[in-house]
């Protein structure tokens, strides 16, 4: 028997829109066929959307090869003007972690510059727009290290060599998407090529900038050193002249001392005159050597300036580093043909330029290459099906709830 209070509570619950578990079970029991049908339709739509609208993902692995015979010749002019030629031979990977991070930060700006200046490029415009974003490189290019972070934790106490191995890059995995399999493969090849030619271009710019900085700052220092050395030679020659006069005046003090002492030491003036004459002439010869080395360096810098005058205009137009390398090598060969074979001073600086250019070429061709073809797959089928199922189920549920609400509202108005 329904009492007035019970009717009032039922009416209050109805007005407060409270839904019990029994109501939910009843709703699902009455509409489960519609919900199942909607789910099936959603699965079909998700699979169809994946089939016609899903994108392909291509993957290309670039091996970071080593150069087992890397010879580096450096010519260092210090304050004492000593030349240091260093030949090193080691297993050097094309890219280490520092050079990769540097290139990774600079490639987005280079891609944006290629688009802004309308330069020729391989790949679609949309791909270059994507590559102009730094996040694209973080997401789509993944380095593989010799030892992972997990391996480092497990093997931390074995050897200090693990610290080096954990930062050694074995390969770079490049990923690119496309609406079709062919498009994705074209995009991943274009991205990998841009990584190589762009990386080569960036390192060429670094070399040209370092040479340009050297021509600006070094010339003034060398000119100052030449002037200082010329003044010093004048004093040294005058000192030698006075010592010759003393030797004539004191012929008895002409024995050569076997004592080793710095000629600039305060006690050197008490050495035999012949010994002092030998020492001051050695100083004069050494100063003349410094003077000649400084003048030779100025000649080399003038040759570098000549190289930069032809190289910089090309670097401002050609963003393909490997193509630019070929042009710069031609400039170097043309300059080499214009100097005499016996001019070892100019040949030395041209050899240095030539070696640096070839090192970059080897680094981004044979040093960083894919020995297998890229592969492309159409991923995301499960994701598309789940998405279609969720959307269709939600829309059907929303429609059924709306229908029920409409019936309840219509019933209340009828009462």
Q: Give pLDDT tens digits for 98-144.
A: 889 999 999 999 999 988 887 766 667 888 999 999 999 999 999 98
Q: Does residue 348 contact residue 83 with C-beta atoms inside 8 Å?
A: no
| Range from 243-247, 304-308, 410-414 that averages highest in pLDDT | 304-308
Cα 348 versus chain centre, distance: 29
| Whether residue 7 has pLDDT greater than 60 | no
Using alpha carbons only, give the angle 362, 367, 369 rounded to the nearest 5 degrees. Answer: 120
| Whether residue 291 has pLDDT greater than 90 | yes
Question: Residue 85: its pLDDT value, please?
Answer: 42
Question: Residue 379: its pLDDT value, please?
Answer: 60
Residue % of the chain over a pLDDT of 90: 36
Give the whole-angstrom CA distance, residue 67 versus residue 23.
74
For 102, half-sphere exposure in the C-beta direction (CA atoms, 13 angstrom radius) is 12
Q: What is the 3-state secondary structure (H, E, C) of the chain?
A: CCCHHHHHHHHHHHHCCCCCHHHHHHHHHHHHHHHHHHHHHHHHHHHHHHHHHCCEEEEEEEEECEECCCCCCCCCCCCCCCCCCCCCCCCEECCCHHHHHHHHHHHHHHHHHHHHCCCCCCCCHHHHHHHCCHHHHHHHEEEEECCCHHHHHHCCCCCCHHHHHCCCEEEEEEEEEECCHHHHHHHHHHHHHHHHHHHHHHHHHHHHHHHHHHHHHHHHHHHHHHHHHHHHHHHHHHHHHHHHHHHHHCCCCCCCCCCCCCCCCHHHHHCCHHHHHHHHHHHHHHHHHHHHHHHHHHHHHHHHHHHHHHHHHHHCCCCCHHHHHHHHHHHHHHHHHCCCCCCHHHHHHHHHHHHHHHHHHHHCCCCEECCCCCEEECCCHHHHHHHHHHHHHHHHHHHHHHHHHHHHHHHHHHC
Q: Which of 92, 98, 90, 88 has its CA nearest to residue 65?
A: 92
Q: Give pLDDT tens digits for 150-159.
A: 555 555 555 5
Averaged pLDDT score across all residues of the chain:
77
Residue 84: partners with Cβ closer than 8 Å, 6 or more residues away: 74, 75, 76, 78
CA dihedral 245, 250, 256, 261 (to 10 degrees): -70
Q: Does residue 350 contact residue 187 with C-beta atoms inside 8 Å?
A: no
Residue 254's φ and ψ, nearest 5 degrees, are -110, 5
User: Which has the minimum average pLDDT: 197-201, 219-223, 379-383?
Assistant: 379-383
Residue 90's φ and ψ, nearest 5 degrees, are -155, 170
Per-residue pLDDT band for 28 (boundaries 50, 70, 90) equals low
| Whether residue 72 has pLDDT greater than 50 | no
| Whether residue 83 has pLDDT greater than 50 | no
Start-to-end CA span in the chain (Å): 22
């Amino acid at each position: 028997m329904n009492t007035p209070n019970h009717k009032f509570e039922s009416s209050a619950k109805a007005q407060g829109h409270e839904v019990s578990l029994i109501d939910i079970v009843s709703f699902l029991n009455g509409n489960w066929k519609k919900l199942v049908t909607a789910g099936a339709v959603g699965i079909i739509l998700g699979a169809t959307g994946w089939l016609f609208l899903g994108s392909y993902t291509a993957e290309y692995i670039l091996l970071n090869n080593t150069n087992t015979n890397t010879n580096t010749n450096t010519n260092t002019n210090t304050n004492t003007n000593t030349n240091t030629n260093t030949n090193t031979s080691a297993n050097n990977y094309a890219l280490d972690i520092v050079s990769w991070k540097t290139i990774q930060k600079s490639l987005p700006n280079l891609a944006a510059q290629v688009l802004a200046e309308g330069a020729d490029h391989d790949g679609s415009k949309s791909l270059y727009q994507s590559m102009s974003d730094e996040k694209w490189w973080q997401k789509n290019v993944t380095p593989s290290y010799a030892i992972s972070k997990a391996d480092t934790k497990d093997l931390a106490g074995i050897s200090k060599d693990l610290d080096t191995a954990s930062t050694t890059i074995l390969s770079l995995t490049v990923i690119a998407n496309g609406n079709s399999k062919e498009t994705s493969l074209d995009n991943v090849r274009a991205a990998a090529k841009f990584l190589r030619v762009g990386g080569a271009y960036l390192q060429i710019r670094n070399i040209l900038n370092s040479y340009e900085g050297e021509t600006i700052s070094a010339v003034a220092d060398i000119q100052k050193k030449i002037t200082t050395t010329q003044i010093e030679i004048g004093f040294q020659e005058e000192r030698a002249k006075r010592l010759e006069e003393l030797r004539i005046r004191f012929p008895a003090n002409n024995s050569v001392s076997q004592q080793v002492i710095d000629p600039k030491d305060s006690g050197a003036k008490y050495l035999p005159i012949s010994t002092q004459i030998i020492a001051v002439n050695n100083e004069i010869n050494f100063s003349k050597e410094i003077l000649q080395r400084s003048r030779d360096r100025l000649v080399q810098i003038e040759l570098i300036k000549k190289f930069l005058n032809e190289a910089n205009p090309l670097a401002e137009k050609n963003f393909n580093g490997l193509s630019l390398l070929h042009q710069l090598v031609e400039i170097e060969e043309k300059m080499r043909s214009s100097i005499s074979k016996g001019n070892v001073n100019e040949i030395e600086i041209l050899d240095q330029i030539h070696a640096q250019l070839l090192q970059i070429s080897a680094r981004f061709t044979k040093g960083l290459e894919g020995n297998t073809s890229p592969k492309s797959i159409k991923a995301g089928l499960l994701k598309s099906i789940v998405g279609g199922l969720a959307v269709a189920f939600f829309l059907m549920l929303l429609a059924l709830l709306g229908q029920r609400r409409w019936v309840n509202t219509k019933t209340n108005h009828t009462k």
